[in-house]
Amino acid sequence: MRIRVKIILALLIGTFCFTTYGVQAANVQASKEKMSGYGRSEKARKELKKRKKSKKADVSPVKELTPEQQRRYDYFFLEAARLKVQKDYDAAFDVLQHCLTINPNASSALYEMAQYYMYLKQVPLGQAALEKAVENAPDNYWYAQGLANLYMQQNETEKAAALLENMAVRFSDKLDPLYNLLEIYNRQEEYDKVIGILNKLEERMGKNEQLSMEKFRIYLQKKDDKSAFHEIESLVEEYPNDMRYQVVLGDVYMQNGKKQEAYEIYKKVLAEEPDNAMAMYSLASYYEETGQKGLYEQQLDTLLLNKKVASDTKLNVMRQFIVQNEQAGKDSTRVITLFNRIMEQEPDEAQLPLLYAQYLLSKGMNKEAGPVLRQVLAIDPTNTAARMTLLGEAVRQEDYKEIMNLCEAGVESNPDMLEFYFYLAIAYNQAERTDDALAICQKALSHVKDDSKKEVVSDFYAIIGDAYHTKNLHVEAYAAYDSALVYNPSNIGALNNYAYYLSVERRDLDKAEDTAVRCPDPATAEKMEALIAEVKSKGDTIGGVITCVAQGVPIGLGEPVFGKLHAALGHAMLTINAVKGFEYGDGFEAALYRGSERNDRFFNDNGHINTHTNHSGGIQGGISNGQDIYFRVVFKPIATLLMEQETVNIDGVDTTLKARGRHDACVLPRAVPIVEAMAAMTILDYYLLDKTTQL
């Protein structure tokens, strides 16, 4: 009894662990040759060694196993299952083969071997093993189902159909074989067989709408209208008290030109159930198709304004009505009128008002959509679609008071939506509510999860850094900027403000010359040096980015069109060897923000016109604005490698090249003074031009 339990367990493991096959299984043949024995018990290794030494393998069919043979088979099958769970697929494959030398007709081992073969895309071997497994265990449903699925995948429909027909008889409690047969016969357009299978399903499941409608469809395909209508009529007879089927029959009549019969059915249903939404809508459709426009609109109103009709039904009706209205090229008056009348009833679900708002927005009626969206939020404060839509409009209008209202409620109703915290923090900053901005960012960080976007988390730390700096808490500010750059080293806002504030304070910039890599932060410099050393040890190279800051540049250098200052700087930088990119100010990062977030707003700074921020990098409209000019230059890894790489010689023959001599693994440290010099010469040129052109 204990052995039998183990076998069952092994079968279950084998059934449910197939998806764990990894790339190791791809080397089955090689594994058979080497038979290392890794992961096997001592007993298993001895048995396999004994088998290898045997001159004659016992592969003759075994009709009945002796108790000793059964014990050995059970042991090795369980061992194969264990190895499979441990993902030692090669060893498991070998042990399964040994199982088959003990009992070549063992369906359990054959089935497992089939799974291995199929995974390795050795379909003929897998199919042969699975066929033998089914032959030896005809009462195992799962083996047969697996083989049927394989036949269908291989488009061996005749084999699949024959097997499934047998399964439908042998496993009469299973419905899958019949559904699979239905798929095959439908594909082959063997409609008589389809009807036969549907009848069998009906015998087992009872008469229902799905089966009757499918039979109706097939009869129409066969052009047997009489049988088609009889099928639906019999459904009604079977369930005379179910008005749904009455309406279905009416719809079938409508679709097939029997409009008067359909009308009588709809009226009959509504006489018994005045609030039957299906009948109400079908009757409206009847009026529309028969050209009775007034009655159609009246019936539609009756449906949509009936409080007893479910909201989802009204929603579907309005969606269809909108589609029909758009396809007919009509204006939005009728749609808006209907929606307004529905809204007067104060719906208790948000989906209808949300659909209305979406429709208004699609028509460019943003102002009209606002009250509807607020109605959505009044019904369901957690509706993020409505709140985000309103928030987007408030951001476009730079209505920071509205942003605060929406986001303050948003963080309460949807505390895991970091977007609400972000825009709320921005609004607080604009209102100079620094402490509130700090508090909301810290609250946001408490809701950060493992799957939260690191870029968003970085932005919160950047805002915290700005807030702390405003409060003259410089140590805390720089710590926040450091955290921002941990989550997103390319956070342009954090990099910009961090560098700007350091430059204003004249902090640490001179330290750049104290390190081999010309980085002002000693800790970062150490990491850079270690990385370059690692890359160099492998004979490889690495690129990077140089940030250049030009301070004290006069206002007004450059021209608005052909002589833009940033264009000249870009031209100068791109002439440097190994340079592959140039960006100034926010650069490419600017595309991720809106104008309200990134415009450099001017203010009167004690009689001096200044900007609150410097996202433009000190150049606006191609002309310097007096702020620090900062830009970044991207350097590629050097092409000369101290490792072999493929190339061709002068004759076009493939060869390999390995450089010799001294070569830098990274050009950045040496490129810093070049970047500085090119920038200085460009700015000096524009300074002299400015002097010569002034009147």
Residue from 569, 556, 552 nearest 503 by CA: 552
3-state percent breakdown (helix, strand, coil) of the chain, nearest 5: 65, 5, 30
Tokens of 82: 């264990």
Point out the least confidently predicted range of 17-31, 295-309, 354-368, 559-573: 17-31
Residue 5, pLDDT score: 29
Helix (H) or strand (E) holding 442: helix 434-445
pLDDT band at residue 65, thresholds of 50, 70 and 90?
A: confident
DSSP 214-266: HHHHHHHHTT-HHHHHHHHHHHHHHSTT-HHHHHHHHHHHHHTT-HHHHHHHH
Residue 9, pLDDT score: 28
pTM over 0.75: no
Which whole number is the average pLDDT over 548-576?
A: 92
pLDDT band at residue 318, thresholds of 50, 70 and 90?
A: confident
Residues 70-123: pLDDT tens digits? 999 999 999 999 998 998 888 999 999 999 999 999 999 999 999 889 888 899
Residue 107, pLDDT score: 92
| Amino acid (1-letter code) at residue 521 | D
Residues 4-39: pLDDT tens digits? 323 222 333 333 333 322 232 333 333 333 333 334
Point out the least confidently predicted range of 11-25, 60-74, 416-430: 11-25
pLDDT band at residue 547, thresholds of 50, 70 and 90?
A: confident
Share of the chain above pLDDT 70, in %: 86
- Cα separation, 491 vs 494, in Å, equals 5
Point out the least confidently predicted range of 163-177, 354-368, 656-670: 656-670
Share of the chain above pLDDT 90, in %: 29
140 pLDDT more than 80:
yes
671 pLDDT more than 60:
yes
Residue 508, pLDDT score: 58
Residues 364-413: pLDDT tens digits? 888 888 888 888 888 889 988 889 989 988 888 889 999 999 999 999 99
Helix (H) or strand (E) holding 567: helix 565-574
Burial of 576 (0-12, 13-18, 19+ CB in 10 A): middle
pLDDT band at residue 356, thresholds of 50, 70 and 90?
A: confident
Residue 62, pLDDT score: 46
